[in-house]
């Protein structure tokens, strides 16, 4: 090998080393830029969460407060009537239905005599049903479903841990006493 070719090889090797170091430096710079972008994205995300979190907490607190007072969706009076009609373990003659009569206020009728046919003159819309009471073995009546108090001891929906609601009518409307 001649000295010229050795110098050419050495120059090529030096050039390759220089290019390799430039490429490695460039790759490190790209890596650092990516890491910096990731840190900035993370910081922006944390700031967004920080400023959005109080509003979300307030919203969740309001929702939780509302949910704790209103509870989950309650089963309808129609569902209770169907349960009384089809469930053999429940005796419909032991249940009383309290409904709002438009002119005289709250009236009660036994569940076994409830008319659900539209063609009957005595028919009462189910949205007027306010409560269901069950007669115990000792003759006491216990509220098992109450729309206003959200008591549902038939299905377990609504608020089941409340005291028994006392319902009375006043001025053709419904007043629930504590």
Which tens digits make up the pLDDT trace of 67-116? 444 446 889 999 999 998 888 888 888 999 998 887 788 889 988 887 66
The pLDDT of residue 102 is: 78
The pLDDT of residue 66 is: 47
| Angular region, 121: left φ>0, alpha ψ -120 to 50, beta rest | alpha
Q: Bigger pLDDT: 158 or 83?
A: 83
Q: Could you read off the pLDDT of 28-63 as tens digits, one per residue?
A: 999 999 999 999 888 777 766 655 545 555 555 555
Computed over every residue of the chain, the mean pLDDT equals 77
Q: Could you read off the pLDDT of 54-65 as tens digits, one per residue?
A: 555 555 555 544
The pLDDT of residue 104 is: 80
């Amino acid at each position: 090998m001649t000295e010229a070719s050795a110098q050419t090889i050495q120059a090529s090797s030096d050039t390759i080393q220089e290019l390799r170091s430039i490429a490695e430096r460039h790759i490190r710079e790209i890596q650092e830029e990516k890491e910096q972008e990731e840190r900035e994205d993370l910081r922006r995300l944390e700031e967004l969460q920080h400023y959005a979190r109080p509003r979300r907490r307030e919203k969740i607190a309001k929702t939780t407060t509302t949910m704790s007072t209103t509870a989950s969706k309650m089963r309808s009076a129609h569902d209770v009537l169907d349960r009384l009609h089809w469930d053999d373990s429940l005796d419909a003659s032991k249940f009383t239905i309290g409904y709002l009569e438009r002119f005289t206020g709250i009236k009660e009728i036994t569940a076994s005599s409830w008319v659900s046919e539209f063609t009957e003159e005595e028919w009462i819309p189910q949205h007027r049903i306010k409560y269901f009471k069950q007669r115990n073995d000792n003759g006491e009546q216990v509220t098992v479903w109450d729309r206003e108090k959200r008591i549902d001891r038939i299905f377990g929906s609504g608020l089941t841990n409340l005291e028994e609601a006392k319902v009375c009518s006043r001025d053709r409307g419904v007043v629930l006493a504590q």
